[in-house]
Amino acid sequence: MSFAVQGRFTAAGRGVPRAREAAADGAFRAAAVAAALLVLVLLGLVAASMLWGGLPALRSFGLRFLYGTEWDPVAKRFAALVPIYGTLVTAAIAMLIAVPVSFGIAVFLTEVAPAWMRGPVGAAIELLAGVPSIIYGMWGLFVFVPFMADHVDPWIDATLGGLPGVGALFSGPPMGIGMLTAGIILAIMVIPFISAVMRDVFALVPPPLRESAFALGATRWEVVRRVMLPYTRSAVVGGIFLGLGRALGETMAVTFVLGNSHDFNISLLAPGNSIAAAIANEFTEADSDLYRSSLMALGFLLFVVTFLVLAAARLLLLRLARQAGR
């Protein structure tokens, strides 16, 4: 057999596996595209279903549904300002507490803690992340709320309630139940998620970068601030917004300690409400189509708020990536 004929047979033999590989690669690509499109379709269907269910309420009340404070099932008049305010305020309190604490935990585990301590503390954080939200709510109601009512709320009211301008935020009845308590419970819940992300990304910083900074005489804090944070800032911001998304949508824990009141009050010590808590408490009691539609409209608003927050996080990450590229 000549070399030319042998080459043709060999090329033909190689062509069969290559054709099979190309077909398998095409099938894999199609499956991946279908999975991605399925997520978008499901997201769109969820949003559309909530919007469709909330249309009667939105048509009946118009824009007043967004800024009104009345929630009267008997008179069938509903507005969403109180749940929206409670959702945003409790999430903001949670992030103000959770971000610095999570940062401290991550720095401790990656830079300060001895090797024998990192494993147990890291495992404890992961266990906290796995605790069901209803457990946090029950603990908050039976343990944390009495502590706040007896020790924290009276001190805040007496110390900060009389301050000009901001005193209205810190004055109120020391019942223990309110937006401040709910925000603290939310902070405890999201700390494991944010700290775990920060710990993992800090651990990925190349050792030569840290060692070079230490060799130049930098302190441990300077290494964290000028080396580790700039290197991991995109992932850190992503972890923070992941925790924020969890705080915005939390239901059961907030329902236990928020007070579930539809009276608008800017005080952090006063009972309030959130979108998720209002839906969880009242959906089974909705006795009219307009009532159910108002709750569905609240769900759509929560979807919109969460989507806007995550979209802002995405834009911020893209901006950070462009700055890093420059």
Digit-coded pLDDT (tens) for 146-167: 999 999 999 998 888 888 878 8
* 202 and 138 belong to one structural domain: yes
* 263 and 299 belong to one structural domain: yes
Predicted TM-score of the model (pTM):
0.86
* 269 and 207 belong to one structural domain: yes
Rounded distance, CA 250 to CA 187, Å?
11
- The bridge status of strand 77-78 relative to strand 71-72 is antiparallel
Residues 81, 69 contacting (CB under 8 angstroms): yes
* 207 and 139 belong to one structural domain: yes
* 301 and 152 belong to one structural domain: yes
Residue with tokens 């990450």: 317
- pLDDT surpassing 50 at residue 269: yes
Which residues, 6 or more positions from 189, have their beta carbon under 8 angstroms from its beta carbon?
Answer: 94, 133, 136, 246, 247, 250, 253
Max mean pLDDT among 157-161, 171-175, 190-194 falls in 190-194
Domain count, the chain: 2
What residues make up the domain containing 262? Answer: 66-325
Looking up residue 252, the CATH number of its domain turns out to be: 1.10.3720.10
Q: Which residue among 33, 61, 89 closes a domain? A: 61
* 113 and 212 belong to one structural domain: yes
Residues 227, 205 contacting (CB under 8 angstroms): yes
What is the per-residue pLDDT for 99?
94
Task: With H, G, I as helix, E, B as strand and everything else as coil, classify residue 22.
Answer: helix
* 122 and 156 belong to one structural domain: yes
Rounded distance, CA 92 to CA 97, Å?
9
* 299 and 187 belong to one structural domain: yes
Element (H, E) at 72: strand 71-72
* 137 and 238 belong to one structural domain: yes
Residue 72: beta bridge partners? 77
Query: Residue 294's closest CA among 120, 99, 76?
Result: 76
Digit-coded pLDDT (tens) for 91-142: 999 999 999 999 999 999 888 888 888 888 888 888 888 888 899 999 999 9
- pLDDT surpassing 70 at residue 176: yes
- pLDDT surpassing 50 at residue 9: no
What is the per-residue pLDDT for 15?
58
